[in-house]
Structure 1
């Protein structure tokens, strides 16, 4: 199934008055899957029950949450890696910097080889 897209017009960043506007593709999400949906789909490929799979997914969520909060990188082989990052304001000197300069924490995701390879072969279709 192809990834659907729409077109949006954007101005040139940093150019007074917007400069020459161009059209760019943006992905259109085609629904979502809940933990229940994932559990039902995984059950088709597994000897585990839907309830067992749901329990494992929720436990995985808890382990990832705790690990990210403790600054760990979570490597999930072919699925990819999750890792924490920070955004902060800059301080004039190293000694001046303190935690009040930190604006927030985020989770980054780096896909694994299997997902990267899949994205290299996807097709695209303009959304209706």
Structure 2
């Protein structure tokens, strides 16, 4: 297993005018795995049919949506956790804060240990 990368020049973050530009590695994605691909791969490790696997994935998506919309942390054991977070403007006092100051919500993902660990053993190869 390897992750391909390329080197790109970037300005210094937080420095007016960009500061001194430096070179950083960035991942070169090697395609994607869509639901059909995931279903086909899961089918190899399972006694479930393609339709059953697809149904479970869709049901999981629905359950995650409902849980997140109710402010719950969704823990998927070794896969990791999904949890909601907020972005807001500030107020001078707690009493002055209203929900109108909330700019939006997003979903955060915290990978499980096994998913994090696999990235510790990956080999990096420079893309052509």
Q: Given the two structures, how large is their TM-score scaled by the length of structure 1?
A: 0.95
Q: CA deviation at 1:34?
A: 1.2
Residue in 2 that maps onto 1:54: 54
Residue in 2 that maps onto 1:80: 80
Runs ≥4 residues deviating over 3 A: none
Find the aligned partners of 1:24 and 1:111 in 2 and give their Cα distance: 24
Paired positions, count: 128
Residue in 1 that maps onto 2:43: 43
Q: CA deviation at 1:9?
A: 0.8
Question: CA RMSD for the aligned pairs?
Answer: 1.0
Gaps of 5+ in 1: none
Residue in 1 that maps onto 2:124: 124
Gaps of 5+ in 2: none
Find the aligned partners of 1:48 and 1:16 in 2 and give their Cα distance: 56
Find the aligned partners of 2:123 and 2:112 in 1 and give their Cα distance: 20
Which is further off, 73-82 or 10-19?
A: 10-19
Find the aligned partners of 1:16 and 1:101 in 2 and give their Cα distance: 28
Find the aligned partners of 1:16 and 1:48 in 2 and give their Cα distance: 56
Which is further off, 75-84 or 19-28?
A: 19-28
Q: CA deviation at 1:114?
A: 0.4
